[in-house]
Structure 1
Amino acid sequence: MPDVVHLDTDGTSYILDVLPTGHLQNLYYGGRLRRMDDYEPLRQKNDVPYGTMVNVSQEQRNIGLDDQCLEYSGLGKGDFREPAIELVFADGSRTTDFRYESARSYRGRPEIPGLPTATGGEDDVQTTEITLRDADKGLALVLTYCVYASYDVITRFATLRNDGEPVKVRRLMSAQLDLFGGDWRLVTFDGCWAYERERNDKPLAPGVYVNDSKTGNSSNRHNPFVMLAAGDCGESSGECYASNLVYSGNHAEIVERTYQGKVRLLTGVNPSGFEWLLEPGESFTTPEAVLSYSPAGFNGLSRNMHRFVQDLIVRGEWRDKERPVLVNNWEATDFDFDKKKLLAIAKEAASLGIELFVLDDGWFGRRDDDASSLGDWDVNEKKLPGGIEGLVPKINSLGLKFGLWVEPEMISEDSDLYRAHPDWAVSTPGRAPAYGRNQFVLDLTMPEVRAYVVEAMTKAFSQGRVEYVKWDMNRNVSDGYSKALPPERQGEFHHRYILGLYEILAELVRRFPGILFESCASGGNRFDLGMLCYMPQTWTSDDTDAYARLTIQGGTSYGYPQSVMGAHVSASPNMQSLRASTIETRFNVAAFGLLGYELDLTMLSPFDKKAIKEQVAYYKEHRRLLQFGRFLRVPNRLDPDKTQWAVVSEDGREAIAGLFQGSARVGLGQDVLTVPDLDTEASFSVKGRPQYINVKAFGNLVNRVLPVKIRGDGVVHTVLSSHYMFRMADEDYVANGDLLSGYGIKLIQQFSGTGYNDRVRILSDYGSRLYFITTVR
């Protein structure tokens, strides 16, 4: 090995060195540095020991591992911080001591057995493997670094190979990153059902911070995507690091700041409840971690992650395809539907320009509520005479594609499958299993269960022409135990469950390469890179309230592109929040994702039908930009209660911006529209999307804008509001790119308590508008 390993992306450098003790250390990770003849300026000086220090050897008495920036730490040799590896040997000891042995580099990258990884061939990625060895125990530890230069991303994983006696693996993290110092804060994305991935910032004081999941999936509680941000980091400037995990199970991101200011980040499979028996001759490889650095603030970091996810995580026929506008029947019908009702919704959808009809829960077994039939994937002929095969041609004849909802990982106690195979449900011997949504979890560690799921889904997806599948998972995993595993391997259950899931998904994607799969887990309970390797989009949240979605989709956007986010327009008041919002705002928020509608289209007013028809046409016209453009979060310079998003084309010559208001406030009627990353040398036209206001919103003020007098909130007013399309004030501006992408342009005044004319914007509570920006030709 040379004195150092110096890994470069287009904009970053990652530099490793070996301490005199033989331990691998991290010299630097940040903006790109030129190669050096001498790396001494980057090395920590260890000229004298400090009090209570444990030195590894008498020959290196000034070096204590507890104050070094190490690359992969264990227990028992003086590093008392959170370790990356924890093993238990046959004699009960836990001390490990891995020292540098060799390194090699090559073009391309390896796969990980049983686990998904980023893609990439010899032209995309260069791999470096560094082997460390604990000679006393016959263990080799291979640290793998895959460098995606043009993405400013380095992925990492670790492989432990046992050439000695049996050993129990209690902890084996995918990556460890030690930073020398700085004023860092930990940024996590936390939540619960129907309010996932809200951004939370935690200034790092000395101590340990844990962001993890113990639910059996990546969870809605704490997403595996985290950031370390400098104290002055904002959306457009400042240093920040990102870490994510290509994994869908229990994970942990552990951050420790020492009193001396060093910061350690660990990410990988959650050590809590995990134990893996590694026999002689066996290896264990961790999931892949994804690391990135940007000096250009959170938007710069998001750009790295978005491009990486779009190009190298998502794969298959749908990776670069524009996604169809869909309608899902769930919030329209719940379980209460028949063929006639579904076709009525589909007919309305076709008339509005919608392209895909999705049949959600309730089409199989005796599924009239959530208490039965999961696992019995035969069509309910009472609801659907003629089955799916009879329904699909009728849907197709309307010009719509057909999609189907399934929840294959679950089993109902009241099901033929459970009565035949109660042992297939996850449960702990001698204990009554816990329920979640009236259902149990299938034990995917069992080969016969995996085979059943694959064949049952193959049959379901072969009914007629199924072109889209929504794969749901509506409960967390409890009672973790497998009857297929011996007692000494029960600590492997949760990881083996995920391995079983990936095996199933890989086979079904192979059998049905043309199906557009969407992952779902009670909304965003499993929104992660692992699922995106098989399914190119994920249902973002069960909360479809437009105002809540600003937080949910905005938080999600830090680590994931809008091209993977399902976003639907639902009814008002919203079913989850009971908040009322306009049909225009509901669309404007959903347009920054993969657009769908989830409401009873047969019950719409003429006003809403006309509005939706124009929305769908607008979305289709700009679909490529909205789904695959560069997504930006733009702080509002005048009012923090307003949210602004933008998507910008790669060449900076086209964009769509959205301005979203929270509570309307009298006297604050001025707004500035800023759209970063435009071509500063070009001139641009800025046009507000044609939008309509329901005159019901004006109450008695309706007489200020109508040519005739009517009774506010009366019968005439109600009838009028269902038919009359009151057009929002037109907005049409011209501005140079340097102004628009820098300071911004001042918009026409918003209604602020008095006066109205055709140059006044009306937004009200939760109001919004989209703007199309394009070069002047």
Structure 2
Amino acid sequence: MTITYQQEHQIFHLQSKDMSYILQLKDGYPLHVYWGKKLRDEGNLDRLHHYPDIATIDRFPQEYPQYGTGDFRNPAYQVRLEDGSRITELVYKSHTITAGKPELTGLPAVYVESDKESQTLEIEMIDKYSGLTVLLSYTIFEEHNAISRSVKFVNASTKSVALERALSASVDFTDNDYEMMYLSGGWSREAQVKKRALDSGLTTIESRRGASSHQFNPFMALARPHADEDQGEVFGFSLVYSGNFVAEAEVDFFFSTRVSIGINPFDFEWLLEPGQSFQTPEAILVYSSEGFGGMSRTYHRLYRTRLCRGIHRDQERPILINNWEATYFNFNAEKIEDIARAGAELGIELFVLDDGWFGKRNDDTTSLGDWVVDQNKLPNGLNDLAKRVNNLGLQFGLWFEPEMVSPDSDLYRKHPDWCIHVEGRRRTEARTQLILDLSRQEVCDYLYESLSEIFSTVPISYVKWDMNRNMTEIGSATSSANRQKETAHRYMLGLYGLLEKIHQQFPHILFESCASGGGRFDPGMLHYMPQTWTSDNTDAIERLKIQYGTSMVYPISTMGAHVSDVPNHNMHRIVSLVTRGDVAMSGNFGYEMDLTKFTDDEKVIAKGQVARYKEIRSLVQQGDMYRLKSPFEGNETSWMFVSENKREALVFYFQVLAEAHGPLKKLRLKGLHPDLDYGIGEEKLVYGGDRLMQSGLPIPPLQGDFASVCFHLKAK
């Protein structure tokens, strides 16, 4: 890992373990030269690219393009000066190369635990007319083929500047021979893998909802033709942010491609007074010469170990039972204790009390914001219930939806202006609730005080932090007219500040984020909460696609996955308990059903699943994932997890629909050591790693629809 600067040719060469990223200064512009497999740091890197004359700036492959000086493609940033002009021309002023990676104040970010893990290049750019200074930051990592990029704007003038567009990263490729891959969907069908060939014009994915959204994940990748899971070049772009975002790929008439990612400029503006600064979120760019699988494993390792934090980062996650689909709002302490007792008999480790324990919450029309226990349901309070659960040998967890407020609540009646709203306009309700204005410090303070009171007095070891609607009528009662477009981003800064304070004060609590499932499954939230509820859709067959797609970017240790009742509450499909368990054990395992209704046979199966997951969970949560068969391409799905030393592996295989007299099947495995011999489960047969990867593992015939099988491999 090095960052070098060749003074003669003004070239910066950023090298990681297997990757090079090269940029060059020309006439004061930082230009993109190369991004790909690692190159030697030889003296003629300037010959990698031939730049046209300065008069044709729209042909320049720029690192942070601007508007108004001859480049007609989408810029990375735009400003409006006090004189009404929108033209800036940033040119190089200076640079620094330092060990380590600086923190981003007030924003989630990848971190390092030692300065030896990374180096950072910061390029200072200045627009001499306006006095605007822009700092371009690049961090390269020792063990990861990834680059962190972010931008800081500083108003060094005596006049105000309005930022209208402030993206985190832009990369210009010299051709358009790529396929774009991204994750799309909706509520209960998140993270569907989509691919399209790039062509002339602009391809955009975005969120305008105030959250990263179910519809699009803040991620995209460009892949060379014929790249697949195992081979071919792939370039990944992931934004460490939880609010409105945009990711674009623009092909111009020279057939070059510009990729950019950052805060969505739609309905965004940020006023910089003299001396003030603005920091963009960071984008994590990943290069893989080993297809999508190589890209994913880089994101997994980096996000699992250097984005997620705290004591739970490297710990095995507990097996839980959540009462939501078992009781919804209709429960009392005795019913909860009964479910917890049934869970304890199976070996489950954590009970989570979901929605309905506070205020007068008997349905979803009331009480959000009133974080006091409902004495009608729990007359002896949360401490009594937690003690009952603890006495059964289980930890106790609790559901909250802190960012929301019900119009029918004591909080709203006392502070009707605390919600996001525009005075005189209708306040659109969704799920009979409004959104608290977290851009206001007094609102964040109220939430911290309310939550910390419970966290400090009740023995809670887990919190599910939910968020069930998106923003409408975006405005803040305390912001001036010329700062209203800052509200959505200031909300995110307020949320991040609140989460950071809670994270520091209550490090023992394992937090899981949720937004009607995966509506805010993004890197930003993982910095504060190391796992996310992947989807409200718990149907095992739909989860194959959802979990497969989510794994394109996110580590398995971040994915909540539960066994639920059948017929499934979303899909009304009946899937065997075995298959439901195999799908859920491919994530952070738990149950979401009434365990007291299990038959004796189901108890035996479930008890076996719990015992099995305790044996394999470190491998699932911390191992390297290899995707073998895609649910988006056929009737079969398969993935596997391999330990770091390659001496242990776990293979899951799923068949959606039964096949009449189908062919004998073999599954070619990945990631094993070719020279090791592996025993499989209780079988006495031993297979060579090379044989399993080249010839394949025989799959026994599976009976019926929605069937699965799991193989546990251990080196002899």
TM-score using structure 1 length: 0.90
| Alpha-carbon distance in 2 for matches of 1:743, 1:559 | 29
Aligned to 2:570: 576
Letter in 2 for 1:297: G
Residue identity opposite 1:469 in structure 2: V
Q: Which residue is 2:476 aligned to?
A: 482
Indicate which of 106, 116, 119 corresponds to 1:114.
106
CA distance in structure 1 between the aligned counterparts of 2:28 and 2:486, rounded to whole angstroms: 32
1:141 aligns with 2:128: no
Q: State the secondary structure of the residue aligned to 1:267.
A: strand
2:154 equivalent in structure 1: 161
State the one-letter code of the partner of 2:709.
R
Alignment of 1:37 with 2:29, yes or no, is: no
Aligned partners of 2:421 and 2:476 also within 8 Å: yes
Does structure 1 residue 177 correspond to structure 2 residue 171?
A: yes
Matched, 1:740 2:692: yes
Q: How many angstroms apart in 2 are the aligned matches of 1:254 and 1:43?
A: 24
Q: Distance in 1 between matches of 2:38 and 2:55?
A: 28
Query: Could you tell me whether the CA contact under 8 Å between 2:109 and 2:240 is conserved in 1?
Result: yes
**Which residue identity is paired with 1:151?**
H
- Separation in 1, partners of 2:630, 2:229: 11
Matched residue type, 2:696: G
* Corresponding letter in the other structure for 1:258: D
Deviations 1:273-296 (A, max 9, x none): 000001111111100110110100
| SS of the residue 2:687 aligns to | strand
Larger radius of gyration: 1
Q: Work out whether residues 669 and 692 of structure 2, in 8 Å CA contact, stay in contact via their aligned partners in 1.
A: yes
Shift of 1:660: 0.5
SS in 2 for 1:551: helix
Amino acid aligned to 1:502: Y
- Tell me, in whole angstroms, the C-alpha distance in 1 between the residues paired with 2:211 and 2:357: 26
Structure 2 Cα separation of the partners of residues 465 and 424 of structure 1 = 30
The SS at the match of 2:596 is: helix
Q: After superposition, where does 1:653-664 map in structure 2 within 5 Å?
A: 653-664=647-658
How much has 1:182 moved relative to structure 2? 4.6
The answer for unaligned runs of 5 or more in structure 1 is 47-59, 689-730, 751-761
Give the letter aligned to residue 166 of structure 1. Answer: S
Q: Partner residue of 2:180?
A: 186
What is the CA-CA distance between 1:742 and the residue it aligns to?
A: 2.5
Give, in angstroms, the shift of residue 463 of structure 1.
3.5
Counterpart of 1:197 in structure 2 is 191
Q: Residue 461 of structure 1: CA displacement? A: 1.7
Per-residue Cα deviation, 1:469-488 (whole angstroms, up to 9, x for no partner): 00000111111000111000
Letter in 1 for 2:705: D
CA distance in 2, matches of 1:539, 1:157: 28
Structural mapping, 1:357-756, within 5 Å: 357-635=351-629, 640-687=634-681, 733-748=685-700, 750=701
Could you report, residue by residue, the CA deviation over 1:32-85 in whole angstroms, capped at 9, with x for unpaired residues? 000121223212242xxxxxxxxxxxxx5x641111110001111111111101
CA RMSD of aligned residues (A): 1.4
8 A Cα contact 1:302 1:558, kept in partner = yes
The Cα of 1:669 is off from its aligned counterpart by 4.4
Summarize deviations over 1:343-365 as a string: whole Å, max 9, x none: 00000000000000000000000
CA offset at residue 188 of structure 1? 0.7
Looking at structure 2, the residues matched to 636 and 427 of structure 1 have their Cα atoms a distance apart, in angstroms, of 44
Give the letter aligned to residue 555 of structure 2: P
Q: Distance in 2 between matches of 1:732 and 1:131?
A: 64
- The alignment status of 1:25 with 2:18, answered yes or no, reads no
Following the alignment from structure 1 to structure 2, what is the Cα–Cα distance between the partners of residues 320 and 254?
Answer: 34
Matched, 1:13 2:20: yes
CA-CA distance at 1:446 after TM superposition? 1.0
- Give, in angstroms, the shift of residue 394 of structure 1: 0.9
Which residues of structure 2 form unaligned runs of 5+?
A: none
Q: Aligned partners of 1:168 and 1:523: how far apart in 2? A: 36
CA distance, structure 2, for counterparts of residue 651 and residue 27 of structure 1: 37
Q: 2:704 aligns with which of 745, 764, 770?
A: 764
1:73 aligned to 65, 68, 81, which one?
Answer: 65
- CA–CA distance in 2 between the matches of 1:135 and 1:249? 32
2:205 is the counterpart of 1:223 = no
2:11 and 2:46 in contact (8 A); partners too = no
Match in the other structure for 1:696:
none
Cα displacement (A) at 1:745: 2.5
1:94 is aligned to 86
**Alpha-carbon distance in 2 for matches of 1:444, 1:73:** 33
Aligned residues: 707
**Residues 619-675 of structure 1: CA distance to partner in whole angstroms, max 9, x if unpaired?**
0011110111111101379x8310110000111111000001111121214221222
Question: Are the aligned partners of 2:321 and 2:352 in contact in 1 as well (CA < 8 Å)?
Answer: yes
Q: Look up the equivalent residue of 1:472 and give its one-letter code.
A: D
Using the TM superposition, give the Cα deviation of residue 408 of structure 1 relative to its aligned residue in structure 2, in angstroms: 0.4
SS at match of 1:493: helix
2:143 is aligned with 1:150 = yes
Work out the CA distance in 1 between the residues paired with 2:695 and 2:165.
50
1:723-747 CA-to-partner distances (Å, cap 9, x unmatched) read xxxxxxxx66421100112231223
List per-residue Cα deviations over 1:186-225 (Å, max 9, x = no partner).
Answer: 1110110111010100100011011111111111110002
Amino acid at match of 1:72: Y
User: Secondary structure at 1:462's aligned position in 2?
Assistant: helix
SS of 1:525's equivalent? coil
- Counterpart of 2:43, as a letter, is D
Distance 2:71 2:635 in 1: 46
Report the residue type matching 2:139 in the other structure. C
User: Secondary structure at 1:631's aligned position in 2?
Assistant: strand
**Normalising to structure 2: TM-score of the pair?**
0.97
Distance 1:763 1:769 in 2: 11
| Corresponding position: 1:131 with 2:124 | yes
Q: Residue in 2 aligned with 1:713?
A: none
The CA distance in 1 between the partners of 2:139 and 2:575, in whole Å, is: 46
Per-residue CA distance 1:444-498 (angstroms, 9 max, x = gap) = 1111101000000001223421000000001111110001110000010000000
Structure 1 counterpart SS, 2:205: strand
Deviations 1:377-402 (A, max 9, x none): 11001101110011111100100000
Q: Contact 1:388–1:463 at 8 Å: present in 2 too?
A: no
Per the alignment, in what secondary structure is the counterpart of residue 117 of structure 2?
Answer: coil
The residue type paired with residue 5 of structure 1 is: F
Give the 4+ runs in structure 1 shifted more than 2 A.
731-734, 745-748
Distance verdict in 2 for CA 1:122–1:641, change over 3 Å: same
Of 273, 291, 295, which aligns to 1:301? 295
For 2:228 and 2:684, locate their aligned partners in 1 and report how far apart those are by CA, in whole Å: 30
Q: What are the residue-to-residue correspondences of 1:243-392 with 2, within 5 Å?
A: 243-392=237-386
Name the aligned partner's letter for residue 773 of structure 1.
L
Distance 1:185 1:63 in 2: 31
Indicate conservation of the 8 Å contact 2:176/2:251, yes or no: no
Contact 2:626–2:671 (CA<8 Å) still a contact in 1? no
CA, structure 1 residues 147+687, in 2 after alignment: closer, same or farther (shift >3 Å)? same
